[in-house]
Amino acid sequence: METRSFADYLRSLDDAALISLFAHRPDLISPVPPDVASLAIRATSAPSLARAVDALNAWQLQVLEACAVTPEPFTEKVISALTDKAALFVIPGLLERGLIFTGKDGYYVPTNLREVLGNEIAGLGPETMAKLSLKKLEDAPPASKKVLDAMVWGPPRGSVSDIKKPSVGVEWLLKENFLIPFNQKTVLLPREVAIHLRGGKIHRELLTSSPAIVGENRDEKNISLAAIANISTVLRWVEELLNFWAQEPADALRSGGLGIRDLKEISLHLGVDESCAAFVMELAYISGLLTIDPDDRILPTTNFDIWLTLSPSEKWQRLVAPWLTTSRLSGLVGKVENKNIAPLGPELDRAAAASTRTLTLKLLQEIPNCEPNFESIYKAALWHRPSKRYGGLQGDYIAWALREAEWLGITGQGALSKYGAELLDGAELDSINQDMPKTVDHILIQSDHTAIAPGPLEHEVAQVLAIIADIESRGGATVYRFSEATIRRGLDHGKTGDEIKIFLTKTSKTPVPQPLEYLITDVAKKHGKLRVGSTSSFIRSEDPSIITQIMNDKRLDVLSLRQISTDVIICNMDSADSISLLRSCGYLPAGEDSRGTLLSGPRIMRAQSKARPPRIIGEVEVPDEIQLQGALRALRTGEKSTHKQSTLRNIASNALGSLPRTTANETLEMLSDFLQNQPTKSLSIGYADNNGLVSHRIIDPLKLSAGSLMARDHATGEITSFRIARITGVAAL
């Protein structure tokens, strides 16, 4: 078959070539086009070509630029002469991607490709229509040579004060057609002249291979130790964050995301800087463990409860898998130029985020046991992704990917860990469960109201300790501090003073100091003496002295208090706000309901709505083998159907012109004959509508009934009734 267009070229490809095209350019089958003509239109569209060009490395892009500036049709010999002999190994890859295609006399480039590559491809100007004598360039005046030297490697545009009064050097070049006047103040260097002056080459430097990545070698054992420590830490970060918001949920901003004050509070609670805290939030958010409910509260989801029951390797995998594919960049939070970007907000999506992250990890795989120098890995990344779409490859994106990979334990001491390698290879991650530090079930209480956990605590112990103590420092051992506020928090969660003492006595390997026992007893004795309920709210105490103290406290004037008895006060604020204000002023109130029942107990909240992980903005995922085969079958089937319909339309069109003008009786007789002797044959008929206009129909006759023909109409695929009197003619197909 003669190839006259890109669609003809696609029709000439075998199944293996089409599957290869789909694998390189998955956007072509999302969704699967109905036929090859539609596939050709999609493949030559600017967005699809731009995605394909983005996936090229620097050497492939240089060869493609050479193809784009060469007159069509071109040959491999011409391209290798303009670049290098190594281009012969690149051309088949460009052919597989559909960025060039074969024609009758050589290779061609698809429509719109030059537009995607830019107006001045490789710094070259337009072709000239004039005849040039390039040998005259050797005799050019010095002033003209100076002009050419400035323009030869691009940009091919030059400014002049007035095209009608050019300088001596420009005047000679214009006269010999070595410059093209573009407008009154701009001249262009023709493509042929630039290539000649470049020595018959397109590019000044050929980037045939990737720059080497250099760095510091790391011991494999130390890499694994650092990585497993990072994995243990990030799992603890996520658990601490969600447990904190389960007790005291933050409110989302009206524009979406978390406010600066809440971000600082979380970073202080986790003991990390704000950029790391934002990363942990985003990690929980994209994993479906955290959501913003309809009331704009930021709460853990029920998925968090399931996540807590999993093994460490499963927990880690559920965090890392969405991180690899997400288009959100937590690194944008806190940048000076991004003051309005908040964690969990809608402004964090970047289309190139996932591809940059994947490329960074791929480069780390190439240098085992080595922490790369940032400049060298950035240059290597630029070689792999030289395209300028989305503003080009951002150095910050690479830096953030390396930083977050370290936080996650994909790397250890900057080098790819064995856990990261197993993750990228799709292997089992059981080694994480084996290497994870063993949990401990005890603490060591000190005399200064602190307790030391000599390792990661068992879940049940850690949950209780998180309620009755605050984390003071983290590391191989975690230091917890007990205070009046933390003991009160434990009492608010439904524990009694005796229960807290029993827990500490049972869990601690050292005796509980007497001052700590006194603190617990004292707080427990005060807790609940002051109670707050709802009227807007009321404050009640069995101790009249406390009521008197509150009424005389100027800090509480904002409550608009009014005493209605010796032990009851009412105020205008609701109970939650009243409790918060009283606590901030040093009182220890407890909540109660309208019946006087003390409202103490676990206050661990979960979002009532389902998790809504953010959408992913970016490139189309690479389909697997089953999807590729299914897309190929659908395309082939659609092409056959389209070809059949086209053939039927041509036949019917010819038949319609020769349809006899028959009476109703003659038409009825002919239809009866077809139904009896040729029931499986399709018919071409003329059919008149209510206005007398005759339309052409292709039908499969089924039966005659009461002056009508029941038949399947090919146009709609439905069974339709045609009145015999309106059929103007019949012909077999």
Amino acid in position 250: A
280 or 701: which carries more pLDDT confidence? 280
Mean pLDDT throughout 326-335? 88
Predicted local confidence at residue 281, as pLDDT: 94
Per-residue pLDDT of 210-230, as tens digits, reads 999 999 999 999 999 999 999
Report for 74-78, 343-347, 384-388, 694-698: range of highest mean pLDDT: 74-78
Predicted local confidence at residue 391, as pLDDT: 67
pTM: 0.73
Amino acid in position 640: K
Predicted local confidence at residue 1, as pLDDT: 46
CA separation (Å) from 424 to 30, 324, 421?
25, 10, 5
The helix or strand, by DSSP H or E, that contains position 150, with its residue range, turns out to be helix 142-151
Predicted local confidence at residue 650, as pLDDT: 59
Per-residue pLDDT of 484-525, as tens digits, reads 888 888 887 778 888 888 888 898 889 988 888 888 888 888
Residues 697, 685: Cα–Cα separation, whole Å: 5
CB atoms within 10 A of CB 513: 17
Mean pLDDT throughout 453-461? 82
Q: Percent of the chain scored above 90 by pLDDT?
A: 28
- The order of strands in the sheet holding 297-300 is 250-251, 297-300, 290-292
Per-residue exposure over 145-156, b if at least 16 CB sit within 10 Å of its own CB, e if not = bebbeebbeeeb
Which residues, other chains included, contact 243 with Cβ-Cβ below 8 Å and sequence gap of 6+?
Answer: 463, 466, 604
Q: Whole-number mean pLDDT of the chain?
A: 85
As a whole number of Å, the end-to-end CA separation of the chain is: 26
Per-residue pLDDT of 84-142, as tens digits, reads 999 999 999 999 999 999 988 899 999 889 888 888 888 888 888 888 888 888 888 88
Q: Above 50 in pLDDT, residue 24?
A: yes
The pair of structure tokens assigned to 3 is: 């190839």
Which residues, other chains included, contact 88 with Cβ-Cβ below 8 Å and sequence gap of 6+?
Answer: 76, 80
Angle between helices 625-657 and 36-43 (to 10 degrees): 120
Q: Which fold has domain 6-118?
A: Arc Repressor Mutant, subunit A (1.10.10)
Contact 404, 276 (CB under 8 A): no
Per-residue pLDDT of 406-447, as tens digits, reads 999 999 999 999 999 999 988 888 899 898 888 888 889 888
Contact 312, 238 (CB under 8 A): no
Q: Above 90 in pLDDT, residue 704?
A: no
Mean pLDDT throughout 605-627? 71
Q: What's the gap between Cα 511 and its chain centre?
A: 53
Q: Go through the chain and tell me how many residues it has.
A: 733
Q: Domain locations in the chain?
A: 6-118, 134-197, 215-435, 444-525, 529-591, 632-732
pLDDT band for position 633 (cuts 50, 70, 90): confident
Per-residue pLDDT of 531-550, as tens digits, reads 676 567 888 888 888 888 88
